Amino acid sequence: MLKNIIENDDFKNLSQRHIKDIIQYIIDTNTEFSVVANIESTSFNPDLPNDIKSNLNKFSLFTLAGYTFTTVRIEDDFLYFEAGFGKDNFGSVLKIPLYSILQIIIDENIIYINLTATVDKFNNNLEKNSFNVFKNNPKNKKFN
């Protein structure tokens, strides 16, 4: 039963709206915070060097404090911020889909948990999924 709920697109959208409202409230109150995000759907601009990216966990903690907090913004259904990585503080702007944020944390206290961040179908490459749907149509078997 739980699987049917957390894998439902309507529930994902509900969670995403809730996350957006919570983070916007936190930003508006000028409160520094952290997020744990599923990096499978996160983009980095510029992309992180392989030696740094390979050391990130699937669910990575990002602390939005100091300079990083001043760069935080929500646009559409994404959280953006700039962060430094590695010993040389390699700078990159992260673009995280709100639905892939697993936890929101303030002062080491988890204030929100989002189970949809663990759902692979939401975090995999959408283009790849669209092609699989296309291939599953019996009329398109010749493209396999």
Note the pLDDT of residue 141: 47
Q: What is the pLDDT of residues 22-73, one digit of tens each?
A: 999 999 999 999 999 999 899 999 999 999 999 999 999 999 999 999 999 9
Predicted local distance difference test score (pLDDT) of residue 129: 40
Residue 19 has pLDDT above 50, yes or no: yes
Burial class (CB in 10 A: 0-12, 13-18, 19+), 87: exposed
What pTM was estimated for this model as a whole?
A: 0.80
At 124 the pLDDT is 63
**Do 117 and 102 form a contact (C-beta atoms < 8 A)?**
yes
**Residue 83 is part of a domain; what is its CATH number?**
2.30.30.220
Please check whether residue 129 lies inside any domain of the structure.
Answer: no
pLDDT digits (tens, 9 = 90+) for 94-141: 999 999 999 999 999 999 999 888 887 777 644 344 444 444 444 444
pLDDT attached to residue 7: 86
Containing structural domain, residue 73: 2-119
By C-alpha distance, which of 69, 106, 77 is closest to 19?
77
Q: Is residue 56, in this structure, part of any structural domain at all?
A: yes
Q: Write down the pLDDT at residue 61.
A: 96
Q: CA dist 66 to 61, 81, 89, 108, Å?
A: 16, 12, 14, 16
Q: Say how many domains are in the chain.
A: 1
User: Is 40 domain-assigned?
Assistant: yes
pLDDT tens for 70-94 read: 999 999 999 999 999 998 999 999 9
- What pLDDT shows up at residue 100? 93
Residue 137 within a domain: no
Q: CA 25, 28, 30, 35: dihedral to nearest 10 degrees?
A: 40
Residue 6 pLDDT class (50, 70, 90 cuts):
confident
